[in-house]
Amino acid sequence: MTYDTNNIFAKILRGEIPCHKIYEDAHVLAFMDVMPQVDGHALVIPKAPSRNLLDADPAVFAPLFAAVQKVANAAKQAFDAEGVLIKQFNEAAAGQTVYHLHVHVLPRKDGQELKPHSGKMADHALLAKQAEAYRAALKV
Residues with a catalytic annotation lie at: 102
Q: Quick check: 97 binds ligand 5GP (CB under 6 A)? A: yes
- Region of 27-35, 53-61, 66-74, 131-139 interacting with ligand 5GP (CB under 6 A): 27-35
- Region of 26-34, 58-66, 69-77, 108-116 interacting with ligand 5GP (CB under 6 A): 26-34
Q: Quick check: 79 binds ligand 5GP (CB under 6 A)? A: no
CA–CA distance, 97 with 68 (Å, rounded to integer)? 20
DSSP alpha helix (H) spans, 1-140 = 8-13, 61-78, 124-138
What is the DSSP track for 52-69?
A: SGGGS-GGGHHHHHHHHH
Q: Residue 103: name the closest of 14, 9, 13 by CA.
A: 9
Q: Quick check: 118 binds ligand 5GP (CB under 6 A)? A: yes
* 104 three-state secondary structure: strand
Binding to ligand 5GP, residues 41-60 (CB under 6 A) = none
Which positions touch ligand 5GP (CB under 6 A)? 8, 19, 31-35, 89, 95-98, 117-118
